[in-house]
Structure 1
Amino acid sequence: MQLIGGLDDDSSRHNESDELKAKLEAEAVFFSTVSLNDFHVICTLGVGGFSRVELVQLKSDTSRSFAMKVLKKRHILDTSQQGHILSERRIMMDAHGPFTVRLYRTFRDSKYLYMLQEACLGGELWTLLSARGSFEDGTTRFYTGCVVEALAFLHVRGIIYRDLKPENIILDHRGYAKLVDFGFAKKVGLGQKTWTFCGTPEYVAPEIILNKGHDISADCWSLGILIYELLSGSPPFSGSDPMNTYNIILRGIDMVEFPKKISKSAANLIKRLCRDNPSERVGNQKNGVKDIQKHKWFEGFNWEGLRQTTLAPPFTPTVEGPLDTRNFDCFPDDSEAPPPDEESGWDLEF
């Protein structure tokens, strides 16, 4: 009986992967036929250093909306960010995980690059956390579970995310969390290290600060920081400026006084994720992410329900249709003069 069960399980997995493959192929065909003129800009969802994210609607099918990230080419060149942008595109075009925001296709003209992405209209996790101050255990477990699934998907492909924080976690209309913004993500061979200094100061692992080279274990460290911040409302290491923050990080997690609201098992997981020595971090040992999923803090958590999206999220955002932006701050339309043309050709793959 057991054997038959195993076979059935395998065949249903094959069917699932075949279905996914067919869906992705059909999507690729559809998106290869659309152009920039097929979209109508609704409003601005977010503004970054050299980019804006616009909510756009498909003119031929008004029930479909997307997030269009628009980047200034000249600014990318002036700040030597070409490598990051090309890496972001390659990784996102390849990483079609259920807990990472999808990139459907990209466009370019003489002034801008455009990245057509899935619109997640539930808002940023950061907004929800700010409104509530902190989350209780069950809520934090759900969002952490989504992030663990996203990181497992990336890590098995040799991709380090390197910018984990509540601002980069976005909710879809159901309330499921996805990672967005792959500007710092990097593909390194399995077992390889990289030396780029990047990330958000409060979330940076000690080996990045010390320039010792880092790998996927840097994401395990950041996961510990994220759990602490979701449970308490602020990260465990925070100084008056980045240098001060780095010095506090280097003192180690054992110097941090945990607030009472963080349970013993949560504190144990955080401390095991934030070990100074990367090889000692839970999630970076031979069982990988399974060690995180089997930790006492996750006892009884329905991982299969999370993967199948049958698990009820702790918070269901109000989203009434594809153009409902109530979960985002309002940003004024771009009033800046258009940037100068940039036609050097570094962006041909867009």
Structure 2
Amino acid sequence: MAAAVRNTVSSVLHHHHSNREPSPQANQLPNSHDRQDSPAMERAREEEKHSLAHWEDHKRPLSPDQIANDGDQRTVGHSSQVLRQDDFELIKTLGTGTFARVWLVRLNNARDEDQNKVFALKILRKVDVIRLKQVEHVRNERNVLAAVAGHPFITTMVASFQDHDSLYMLLDYCPGGEVFSYLRRARRFNEPTSQFYAAEIVLILEFLHEKEGVAYRDLKPENILIDAEGHLKLVDFGFAKKVENRETYTLCGTPEYLAPEVIRNTGHGTAVDWWAFGILVYEFLVGQPPFWDHNPMKIIVEGRVRFPSAMSSEARDLISGLCTVDTSKRLGNIKGGASAVKSHPWFRQIDWNALYNRKVHGPIVPHLRGPADTRNFDEYEPESENREPYSREMRDKWEECFRDF
């Protein structure tokens, strides 16, 4: 995959890129090795596995209102009381992080017709989540993904569950890998490709901000995957937070993409995503972000973007509007919100309704040998066997925090 590595900052520092930190999920499940399931529990597990195998049969883009209002009626995004890790065959590691590992999995003992039904399973060790002070981020991630399940350009959390020492999020698998890898290979995207990807991201931000009141806070090419049809999927919601109209103060994100108000610690909200979006559009068109420096934060607060002469005037105008230090004047955060971005001349070719409903063909469709193809993901070292146990003391103190999983 990508050669360069960009670090993400938070109260704890962890790595970018296929290191999509798996996310937490918890229910009051005893350790699977310590229990004998009742016949009723076994039936419930088999029914749930059958439902998982066929969740994509009902997959279609839900409208933003349906996603926001029909949470209890959706087949995805739920907390399962019956699933456990041994319901899945672990095929290959897709990414690792400081406290999580993402696996390509299929259902164990699947029926013949379900052998090709694969998922990405994010496994978070409770001990590591606690030790790295990521409990709140993990809870935020699970709850935000549950709330947004069904959006056409956000990774679908099909279900979450937990056992004695781990949290699990079962996600749809995007076999195309990261946009970052395609960008590095191409050096830069042409204008139509950049417009297509940027427009799908606008639809994501419009939904997160205006329907859910969520700031994503880590927008960058490494967190955007390409699915089998060539559409984008935003992943890794570890820094996402429901802020609505309040401000928050956590320093988190990736240095080249941080908005000035985050660096200055003056309080920030959803406007940080529009700044990062401007940086992202620049990186699509140029091949690297505008504030590429040993100390990007120093030059970000000045907010002066230098444009290459080859960039179109409309692209410059869009990026300048987004990368405005004063949040009250920042495009996306001014009157009209996302609509003001969508009506910008750079997007004049976009049919927003057709795009949302995935009727427009993606510019890059990955070449795949099948649903479980992993050629677009790196190889990873095996997991260490020497892991700190989740002690009774830790359980007594922290288990309640994972109850939602």
Does the pair score TM above 0.5?
Answer: yes
Q: Secondary structure at the match of 1:330?
A: coil
Shift of 1:160: 0.3
Aligned 8 A contact 2:255 2:296 in 1: yes
In the other structure, the counterpart of 2:194 is 140
In the other structure, the counterpart of 1:160 is 215
Aligned 8 A contact 1:51 1:71 in 2: yes
Q: Structure 1: how far apart are the matches of 2:259 and 2:229? A: 32
Counterpart of 1:92, as a letter, is: L
From 232, 235, 243, the counterpart of 1:188: 243
* 1:261 is aligned to 2:323: no
Q: Structure 2: how far apart are the matches of 1:330 and 1:143? A: 27
Aligned 8 A contact 2:84 2:163 in 1: no
* Cα displacement string for residues 14-68 of structure 1 (whole angstroms, at most 9, x for unaligned residues): 9x959x9599534578966543222111100111122111000023222211101
Counterpart of 1:271, as a letter, is: S
Shift of 1:71: 1.4
From 248, 254, 269, the counterpart of 2:299: 248
Aligned 8 A contact 2:80 2:160 in 1: no
* 1:120 is aligned to 2:169: no
Q: Secondary structure at the match of 2:274?
A: helix
In the other structure, the counterpart of 1:198 is 252
Q: Structure 2: how far apart are the matches of 1:33 and 1:42? A: 22
Q: Secondary structure at the match of 2:130?
A: helix
Aligned 8 A contact 2:83 2:161 in 1: no
From 70, 94, 99, the counterpart of 1:45: 94
From 275, 288, 296, the counterpart of 2:345: 296
Change (3 A) 1:159 1:124: same
TM-score (norm 1): 0.88
Q: Structure 2: how far apart are the matches of 1:201 and 1:22? A: 35
Aligned 8 A contact 1:111 1:339 in 2: no
Structure 1 segments unaligned to the other structure (5+ residues): 1-12
Counterpart of 2:324, as a letter, is: R
Matches within 5 A, 1:1-350: 17=66, 25-27=74-76, 34-59=83-108, 60=110, 61-96=114-149, 97-156=151-210, 157-189=212-244, 191-240=245-294, 244-253=295-304, 256-342=305-391, 343=395, 344-345=398-399, 346-350=401-405
Query: Post-superposition, which runs of at least 4 consecutive aligned residues in structure 1 deviate over 3 A?
Result: 20-35
Q: Structure 1: how far apart are the matches of 2:308 and 2:96? A: 34
Q: Secondary structure at the match of 2:117?
A: strand
Q: Structure 2: how far apart are the matches of 1:328 and 1:184? A: 23
Shift of 1:349: 2.1
Counterpart of 1:266, as a letter, is: A
Change (3 A) 1:62 1:30: farther
CA-atom RMSD in angstroms: 2.2
Q: Secondary structure at the match of 1:316?
A: coil
Q: Structure 2: how far apart are the matches of 1:126 and 1:176? A: 14
Residue correspondences, number: 330
Shift of 1:74: 1.2
Aligned 8 A contact 2:256 2:292 in 1: yes
Q: Structure 2: how far apart are the matches of 1:274 and 1:29? A: 37
Q: Structure 2: how far apart are the matches of 1:207 and 1:127? A: 29
Change (3 A) 1:28 1:77: closer
* Cα displacement string for residues 290-316 of structure 1 (whole angstroms, at most 9, x for unaligned residues): 111111111122222211111111110
**More displaced, 227-236 or 324-333?**
324-333
Shift of 1:251: 1.5
Q: Secondary structure at the match of 2:284?
A: helix
Structure 2 segments unaligned to the other structure (5+ residues): 1-61
**More displaced, 45-54 or 158-167?**
45-54
Aligned 8 A contact 2:198 2:281 in 1: yes
Change (3 A) 1:34 1:81: closer
Q: Which has the higher contact order (CA 8 A, sep 6+)?
A: 2
